[in-house]
Amino acid sequence: MPAIAVLGAQWGDEGKGKATDLLGRRVDYVVKFNGGNNAGHTVVIGDEKYALHLLPSGILTPGVVPVIGNGVVVDPTVLFHEIDDLQARGVDTSRLLVSSNAHLIPSYNRTLDKVAERFLGKRKIGTTGRGIGPTYADKMSRVGIRAQDLFDEKILRQKVEGALEQKNHLLVKVYNRRAVTVDEVVDELLVHAEALRPMIADTALVLDGALRRGEVVLLEGGQATMLDVDHGTYPFVTSSSATAGGACTGAGIAPSSLTHVIGIAKAYITRVGEGPFPTELLDEDGERLRRTGFEFGTTTGRPRRCGWFDVPIARYAQRINGITDLVLTKLDVLTGWDRIPVCVAYDIDGERTTEVPMTQTGFHHAAPVYEFLPGWTEDITGARAIEDLPKNARAYVEFLQQHCNAPISAIGVGPERDQTVVVNDLLA
Ligand code: GDP
Ligand code: IMO
Ligand code: MG
């Protein structure tokens, strides 16, 4: 059995963590391939609730090897906080591997992330302030610091010196902050070197070995298709590749080994941060979705913007990622509405289209065209088979499936692992 990807099909927080955890017992490796501690995955197992940011959700499953891939940006302080927290709760973290090529987030990039946002004013992105954007920018500018650099102090010092030539200009001359010294940055990073050393690996080689032995490798996406730096609502995106192509480069595996691409989509949509969102509800209905869905960010605690399901976006995510199965999450949150609007097209300045707009302007002008489906009132949180769902809930799922070009193979009816209706085996 080869590699499978689990990805967000909307603007994030679709429930990727729960889906990965659900599959965890049947996979051998779980690889985080993009992003960093901007992600927030809540996983509920029995009475325990875990909020993961940097670590792959597979860390919660005994026997799984969790891997932080080369495409991830790692804040070492956060890494060890999360490890310590989990260990204190009895979770075995000893199998964790970290790619020697993963980039590190030095504290100056956290500072730059926050001050850049302040300077942007009303043009801000609404980032998580974790230093993600500046660290990926450094990677592309070839002034990044990688995990492997911690094990050659001379090289580390040279790289920090090179980076600070640029960074201190920005900090002091543009943003009016204090300059940082090479020593303080080197010290800050070296604190973690010895603890990190046993985890560091050529993870692409490890995963190749696993795939050759027929083991199952799950590639877990952070963020989502519409936050992808190439395919999302640029510039209101994150700075990494959250789509299926990014899964391969960010883990270092060949695209031909990917056989399943599982897209996670909420039964409605949420978004955190700025940027266009055609089906956003700015009224009492949005408030109701936020309240019943507990839509507050796992990472920053910000209220999530809420809106109705958007078919053009789901179809776009299917196309960009080659999604083979959809997991529809949080259907339970829609219980109790008389009728549920679904956006099937956009009206853009008088023209109707069923595709995601080609331009940013088009996106900002897109007005949703809704079809209305009848709601249901029955509690569905105990449903485990499709037959357990009321007729109108089944019709809602069927309608989305017909419009999204992919089978809906599982349906979330509550936050817990077993609160899932499995329609098709996701690993078949
Ligand atoms: P991720 O970033 O994609 O992993 O998603 P988050 O964890 O940020 O947000 C999803 C939230 O919804 C979490 O609090 C989950 O526990 C919760 N959740 C996931 N699936 C379901 C579901 O089917 N129903 C309900 N009610 N909650 C769910
Ligand atoms: P998970 O993995 C939702 C958003 C931020 C901001 C934009 C850029 O939990 O789905 P960044 O700090 O990445 O430079 O911020 O991206 N964002 C997310 N929104 N879920 C996430 O992760 C997100 N990670 C980043 O709110 O709009
Ligand atoms: Mg999240």
DSSP assignment of 92-107 equals: --TT-EEETTPEE--H
Residue 327 DSSP SS3: strand
Identify whether the C-beta of residue 233 lies closer than 8 Å to the C-beta of residue 276: yes
Ligand number, closest to the Cα atom of 12: 2
Of the pLDDT bands very low, low, confident and very high (cuts 50, 70, 90), residue 102 is very high
Of the residues 41, 53, 103, 231, only one is catalytic, namely: 41
Q: What is the pLDDT of residues 349-373, one digit of tens each?
A: 999 999 999 999 999 999 999 999 9
Question: Ligand 2 atom closest to Cα of 227?
Answer: 16
Of the residues 13, 75, 113, 228, only one is catalytic, namely: 13
HEC-encoded secondary structure of 194-259: HHHHHHEECHHHHHHHHHHCCCCEEEECCCCHHHCCCCCCCCCCCCCCCCHHHHHHHHCCCHHHEE
Q: What is the mean pLDDT of residues 160-179?
A: 96
Question: Ligand 1 atom closest to Cα of 294?
Answer: 14
Burial of 391 (0-12, 13-18, 19+ CB in 10 A): exposed
Distance 39 CA to ligand 2 centre (A): 6
Ligand number, closest to the Cα atom of 14: 1
Q: Is 403 a catalytic residue?
A: no
Q: What is the mean pLDDT of residues 174-196?
A: 97
Is the CB–ligand 1 distance for residue 330 below 6 Å?
A: yes
Q: What is the pLDDT of residues 122-145, one digit of tens each?
A: 999 999 999 999 999 999 999 999
List all residues 6 or more positions away from 229 whose beta carbon is below 8 Å from its beta carbon: 136, 237, 238, 239, 240, 241
Distance 138 CA to ligand 2 centre (A): 19
Q: What is the pLDDT of residues 374-402, one digit of tens each?
A: 999 999 999 999 999 999 999 999 999 99
Ion ligand 3 contact residues with beta carbon within 5 A: 13, 40, 298
Chain-centroid distance of CA 61 in Å reads 19
- The DSSP element (H or E) to which 304 belongs, if any, is none
Percent of the chain topping pLDDT 90? 97
Is the CB–ligand 1 distance for residue 414 below 6 Å?
A: yes
CATH number of 3-99+200-262: 3.40.440.10
**pLDDT the model gives residue 99:** 98
Name the residue at shortest CA distance from atom 2 of ligand 1: 13
**pLDDT the model gives residue 307:** 98
CATH top-level class of 265-422: alpha beta
List all residues 6 or more positions away from 246 whose beta carbon is below 8 Å from its beta carbon: 33, 34, 71, 221, 228, 240
Percent of the chain topping pLDDT 70? 100
Over 80: is that where the pLDDT of 284 sits? yes
Distance 241 CA to ligand 1 centre (A): 22
Residue 64 DSSP SS3: coil
Report the alpha-carbon distance of residue 325 to residue 147 in Å, rounded.
35
Ligand 2: residues with CB < 6 A are 8, 12-13, 38-41, 125-128, 130, 132-133, 222-224, 227, 238-239, 272-273
Asked if CATH classification 1.10.300.10 holds for the domain at 103-194, the reply, yes or no, is yes
Over 90: is that where the pLDDT of 23 sits? yes
Tell me what the pLDDT averaged over the chain comes to. 97
**pLDDT the model gives residue 300:** 83
Of the pLDDT bands very low, low, confident and very high (cuts 50, 70, 90), residue 224 is very high
Distance 266 CA to ligand 2 centre (A): 16
- Mutation choice for ligand 1 from 330, 333, 380, 408, CB with most ligand atoms inside 8 A: 330
**pLDDT the model gives residue 299:** 81
Q: Is 365 a catalytic residue?
A: no
Ligand number, closest to the Cα atom of 48: 1
Alpha helices in 46-202 (DSSP H): 76-88, 107-120, 132-141, 153-169, 182-190, 193-196
Over 80: is that where the pLDDT of 347 sits? yes
List all residues 6 or more positions away from 362 whose beta carbon is below 8 Å from its beta carbon: 348
Of the pLDDT bands very low, low, confident and very high (cuts 50, 70, 90), residue 1 is low
**pLDDT the model gives residue 291:** 97
Of the pLDDT bands very low, low, confident and very high (cuts 50, 70, 90), residue 81 is very high
Give one word for 149, left, alpha or beta, with left for phi > 0 and alpha for psi -120 to 50. alpha
Report the alpha-carbon distance of residue 428 to residue 424 in Å, rounded.
8
Over 90: is that where the pLDDT of 298 sits? no
Extents of the domains making up the chain:
3-99+200-262, 103-194, 265-422
Identify whether the C-beta of residue 135 lies closer than 8 Å to the C-beta of residue 108: no
Distance 52 CA to ligand 1 centre (A): 12
Report the alpha-carbon distance of residue 320 to residue 366 in Å, rounded.
20
The pTM (predicted TM-score) of the whole model is 0.97
Identify whether the C-beta of residue 411 lies closer than 8 Å to the C-beta of residue 423: yes
**pLDDT the model gives residue 301:** 87
